[in-house]
Structure 1
């Protein structure tokens, strides 16, 4: 039992690197709320340990001998679904997103011996993600992933008729569970969507370009990683580069993107609050804010600012949110004009442009 009387979160570490196993174990053991149930040297060993130890959460390497991480993930989601956090290297960007599509809930970038500052940052990230598992709903995550699979087989709409031609901007923020949630929303918006979209998904540096590329394949919108100085355009969704913040600026009659470096003091990277406040300052009542699944309070202040300036705000409902933390914070602060399930959100956004408010 922990000091609060709750059972500790039991973690199984699966990694073929002894250094990584020891490093991750040492990090996790710093929290009294976490117990390392065991370690496994590859996927085959991991399968046996899962059945024997019955952990609450798994940290998983992908590239391993005998049975790799993908094979274990498929087996796990069929036989005994449980939260899995991928431990990856920067060179495994495409494989990370494949793992998320198979059912992993999140990922961290694999630590190295020499990068002591990186190691400290990873430790905090790892602990936060493991501790958030108690709020995570695996059934909702699997439902979103299966919905994404269904949408992949259907060509998204390229055209809809819009009554309201007045330019608006849509801002969306998400954290844990966000990649699948964003894919659901973006796949349901038409290619002639009459507004720019800005997205902040909590994700480390180096992964968002690959993420944007995958989103672009399942959406009729143009989805890409945002670039500094790039103009926002209708029908284009810009994803904030990992490890940075995205803001807007007016210059020479255009609204352009400003990419800002993060600092060691920043709690949430990218910051949903900074993005939303920046958009609300420029677009005022023409701003739409959407907060999806995630742990913490990022997005609450941004949604309050959008609402204060007369914009429209939507928080994902508990019914569909993989982790209800961020939407709950928005709702509790009175900053949500509407609470909607993930599958309802695209239709509610579209109503703002069709005179159906």
Structure 2
């Protein structure tokens, strides 16, 4: 089902979706109020949702939908509304794609590919997933400057470095993970989340406002310091380089995913050995499976999210099949175990 107040967007999204084999758009709604009524009638397997609509906006629709009939929702948003995307994810949306534009036809091909990936993702969901989707308490709108800790010295090197990989469902999972990380933890966190380039900075700022460790989008190179977290920018890769620096790198031909979880895990394992802890969260595909082997071979430990909480079990499942995962745990228990290891 397509929910959008723009006739152009409704028509374009319907055409793109119906080019995907096996997809039929069962209904189109112009606002959240009409969409709620239509959901009960057509009972869609997937809803694409605009957030800014008259009468009832997308946020209100999400709250009511998740309370009445939890359904996978893909947010369709412009680049200018990145903060709204992450708010919607916290309210229960599954993922997001860029909004179609009237001027750039090449964008439509990209959006069609992204929609096809999201449809394939929804087809992998277990039937009970909708009933157990969790809505988070929204991140409070506190000023970034009020949350930044005092500057740290260059000798403040961490005892552990935690490398985290995630894809579909990852933004919400990372919010839940970072909410459990205390500010005084003796570790640095490096995150490779599959996400478009223009969204990662906003996502890093949102994680930072949780008030635990200091979270930023990585640029250039930075020394590893405890109590800090670096998010790999979209379209790039993150590595641990010489002198224990976290370094942003361009993609390479053999990178199957961007950002590459495998590349982050492998370089961290080589430089850090048993100081490295790998965490594999929800996501499609098998990114990170090779990386956890490198971590284990060099004495590090690996945690992976179990099917009980993972939106998509692809990445954690691939990690589990390597046989080197120390523990498979639901997300809340995983966060508790991680903090215990870092104490």
User: Shorter-chain TM-score: which interval?
Assistant: 0.7 to 0.9
Q: Distance in 2 between matches of 1:151 and 1:303?
A: 34
Structure 1 segment 185-196 matched on structure 2, within 5 A: 185-196=177-188
Structure 1 segment 1-357 matched on structure 2, within 5 A: 12-136=1-125, 137-142=129-134, 145-146=135-136, 167-250=159-242, 254-262=243-251, 267-354=256-343
> Is the contact between residue 187 and residue 342 of structure 2 (CA under 8 Å) also seen in structure 1?
no
State the shift of 1:128 in Å: 1.0
Q: Distance in 1 between matches of 2:249 and 2:110?
A: 19
Q: Distance in 2 between matches of 1:202 and 1:92?
A: 19
- 1:119-152: CA deviation from partner (whole Å, max 9, x where unpaired): 322222221112211333234431xx34x56999
Residue aligned with 1:296, SS: coil
Number of matched pairs? 327
Task: Report which stretch shifted further, 53-62 or 345-354.
Answer: 345-354
Q: CA RMSD in A?
A: 2.5
Q: Distance in 2 between matches of 1:283 and 1:300?
A: 18
State the shift of 1:264 in Å: 9.0
Unaligned residue ranges in structure 2 (runs of 5+): 142-148, 150-156
Residue aligned with 1:107, SS: strand
Task: Report which stretch shifted further, 216-225 or 90-99.
Answer: 216-225
Task: Report which stretch shifted further, 55-64 or 322-331.
Answer: 322-331
Q: Distance in 1 between matches of 2:251 and 2:30?
A: 35
Q: 1:335 to 1:219 in 2, by over 3 A?
A: farther
> Is the contact between residue 141 and residue 177 of structure 1 (CA under 8 Å) also seen in structure 2?
no
Q: 1:74 to 1:258 in 2, by over 3 A?
A: same
Q: Distance in 1 between matches of 2:273 and 2:284?
A: 27
> Is the contact between residue 186 and residue 219 of structure 1 (CA under 8 Å) also seen in structure 2?
no
Q: Distance in 2 between matches of 1:56 and 1:111?
A: 22
Q: Distance in 2 between matches of 1:183 and 1:74?
A: 18
For 2:154, the equivalent position in structure 1 comes to none
State the shift of 1:265 in Å: 8.1
State the shift of 1:38 in Å: 2.2
Q: Distance in 2 between matches of 1:151 and 1:99?
A: 14
Residue aligned with 1:103, SS: coil
Q: Distance in 1 between matches of 2:332 and 2:36?
A: 34
Q: Distance in 1 between matches of 2:48 and 2:254?
A: 26
Q: Distance in 2 between matches of 1:230 and 1:150?
A: 27
Q: 1:52 to 1:263 in 2, by over 3 A?
A: farther
Task: Report which stretch shifted further, 40-49 or 72-81.
Answer: 40-49
> Is the contact between residue 140 and residue 321 of structure 1 (CA under 8 Å) also seen in structure 2?
no
Q: Distance in 2 between matches of 1:111 and 1:249?
A: 39
- 1:204-240: CA deviation from partner (whole Å, max 9, x where unpaired): 1111222111211224211111121122211101111
Unaligned residue ranges in structure 1 (runs of 5+): 1-11, 153-157, 159-164
For 2:152, the equivalent position in structure 1 comes to none
Residue aligned with 1:28, SS: helix
